[in-house]
Chain A
Amino acid sequence: MVSILLLVAVIILAVISITVKKTVPAVLSFALLMFLLGLYYIGYDEKLLGLFQIFVYTGGIVVLVLFGVTVIGSTFPEEKSRPWAVASIVLIAIGFIVIPFIMPNFNVVENAGNVKAQVTVLTENYAEVAIFLAVVGASLLYGSIRMLHTLKHEKELS
């Protein structure tokens, strides 16, 4: 019961952080959302994931967002209304909810394999992990170089 209340509070806070017009209440509701999700994971006996969630999101990312709030001020800028978006998102959500229940043989436990084989995925198949990390690192490097190039171009123009 407490878990359902936590998740309902998470959904309400998510809606508030998207729709509210002031920036600081949006950031606070976002931080509370992430804190409640961390508490939810701790309730699932996944303490490390919960603490990681709380430290990273309500600690690090919210501070970054507050830095952004200092740039845009206390209210969000005006925006165009797009009424079709709500209908399409509701349709997509209903589709996501319906599809797993109409799929035949949706039995995760039988397909899970044994735990030992799962744990060795990151140690034996390290080549895939290395490729993944290399792609992430290359993307970051490319983004940094592009940003430096843009800043240099801006300096030349001014």
Chain B
Amino acid sequence: MSFEIDMIFAIILFAIGLYGVTNKADFLRIFFSLEMLLNAVILVLASSAYHFGMTQNLAIAYIVIVIATLEAAAGVLIFLLSNRITKEVIPDKLDEGGKYND
């Protein structure tokens, strides 16, 4: 398995994540898509660490995983807050209504 094939699969995963972030309307699928974006980055970092011996990339990959965990925690908080304010989990609705826009 060469680095180029890994990179192509990572780009496809990144494109799927980008599609989800820009096109999907609800928080849960946007959250999945964000995780896919981060995992595409981790895939490239791990593959370059294996093929080229760039071991510092593994340290960066661990940092990215920690950031993804923090993002998950913050995402669930935003998710629940959105549900409390608008009774829905659609980010666009936060602009349209809710108690704080009155």
Contacts and interface: CB of A to CB of B under 8 A. Distances in A.
Interface of A: 3-4, 7, 10-11, 14-15, 17-18, 23, 26, 30, 33-34, 37, 40-41, 44-46, 49, 52-53, 56-57, 60-61, 64-65, 67-69, 71-72, 76-77, 79-80, 82, 85-86, 88-90, 92-93, 96-97, 100, 108-109, 112, 115, 118-119, 121-122, 136, 140, 143, 147, 150, 153-154, 157
A3 B22 contact: no
Minimum-distance CB pairs A-B, first 4: A79-B25, A93-B15, A85-B23, A118-B56
Q: Which of the four size classes fits the interface of chain B? A: 35 or more
Contacts of B100: 150, 153-154
B55 A119 contact: yes
A56 B69 contact: yes
Contacts, number: 166
Given A46-B50, A90-B15, A157-B99, A97 B8 contact: yes
A53 B50 contact: no
Nearest to A118: B56
B11 A96 contact: yes
Contacts of A45: 50
Contact of A11 (B9, B18, B27, B65): B9
A67 B19 CA distance: 24
A153 to B, nearest CB: 7
Contacts of B99: 154, 157
A14 B73 CA distance: 21
Given A71-B80, A89-B19, A3 B58 contact: no
Interface string B39-72: 1001100111110111110110110010111101
Contacts of B67: 136
A93 B48 CA distance: 20
B28 A72 contact: yes
